[in-house]
Structure 1
Amino acid sequence: MKIAIVASLLASASAFSIKQAAQGAATIGAAAVIASQPVFAADVAAGEQVFNANCAACHAGGQNVIMPEKTLEKEALEQYLAGGRNEKAVISQVTNGKNAMPAFGGRLADDEIANVAAYVISSSEAGWE
């Protein structure tokens, strides 16, 4: 299929330069690779459930009962979270733990951790209630 697409692009090279056709083929090839990869969209509502069952004992309302300055609020996440305030950094923290926080990798599935990360980032953006 890719060969047919590339051939089609090259056949229309009269309208495009060879460089433009090659760039188009590369774009199509990259799109095919991306389309074949599974996409996991984090579920904030599911993350809230996992958070309430596993994290709220120490982090109720986005707070931190062990280290009060290291909350889950936007400013604290930006300041204290290794990697900054983003889902990838939260996933790393939840998976591996740090200091008094235990590691949840192995206890929670990867999708549950991703959902928690989405919930934490979403809640920090909206302001914890």
Structure 2
Amino acid sequence: MSRTACLTVAAGVALYGASCFVVPGSAPRGAPLMNSAMADVELAFSAPAPESASTSAFSPLAMGLALGLLAAVLGGRPALAADLENGESIFLGNCAACHAGGNNSVRAEKKIKKEELITYGKYDIGAITTQVTNGYGAMPAFGEKLGPDDIDDVANYVYNKADKW
């Protein structure tokens, strides 16, 4: 719900910005105030005025920019520090066989619940990332199998889930 509200607000701001965009110099100008002597001198020394471009406030460039921004906002995934949804799917696909429910089926005392992570100095996203990347003991290294973003996501998932298991 909140993502939809944010996207709606962003789209509204983008369209409002596009509708308010006016190219400098395109606004209609009033005639300068001058007396008749000044007008005669001005006419004698001035070249014919070029035809002015459209005085419309519509700008195709601004409209294209607004539509591009709107497409990026609606079509793109939000840039989050960690994607917990992706972390959960990676955990279920690679880690849950040994660590289902925060337990450890290989070494029962090495659970990934908060208390055990604190005991072994692993209740830190950096420590969990290192463990997942390099492995340790019976745990295999996933640094070659998973990309850095996926490892960060699963480490954040484990860290956020550790106190709930």
Establish whether residue 101 from structure 1 lines up as the match of residue 144 from structure 2.
Answer: no
Code of the residue aligned with 2:104 in structure 1: it is: N
Instruction: Give the one of 103, 119, 122 matched to 2:157.
Output: 119
Establish whether residue 51 from structure 1 lines up as the match of residue 91 from structure 2.
Answer: yes
Change (3 A) 1:40 1:110: farther
Across the aligned residues of Structure 1 and Structure 2, the Cα RMSD in angstroms comes to 1.3
Percent identity over the alignment is 48
Distance, in Å, in 1 between the alignment partners of 2:115 and 2:85 is: 23
Distance, in Å, in 2 between the alignment partners of 1:111 and 1:91 is: 10
Distance, in Å, in 1 between the alignment partners of 2:125 and 2:80 is: 13
- Note the C-alpha offset of 1:45: 1.2
TM-score by length of 1: 0.64
Structure possessing the higher radius of gyration over alpha carbons: 2
Which structure carries more helix by proportion?
Answer: 1
Instruction: Give the one of 82, 106, 129 matched to 1:91.
Output: 129
Establish whether residue 78 from structure 1 lines up as the match of residue 118 from structure 2.
Answer: yes
> After TM superposition, what 4+ stretches of structure 1 lie above 6 angstroms from structure 2?
none
- Note the C-alpha offset of 1:40: 6.4
- Note the C-alpha offset of 1:92: 0.1
- Note the C-alpha offset of 1:55: 0.3
Distance, in Å, in 2 between the alignment partners of 1:92 and 1:101 is: 12
Structure possessing the higher relative contact order (Cα contacts under 8 Å, 6 or more residues apart): 1
Which secondary structure state, in structure 2, belongs to the residue aligned with residue 116 of structure 1?
Answer: helix
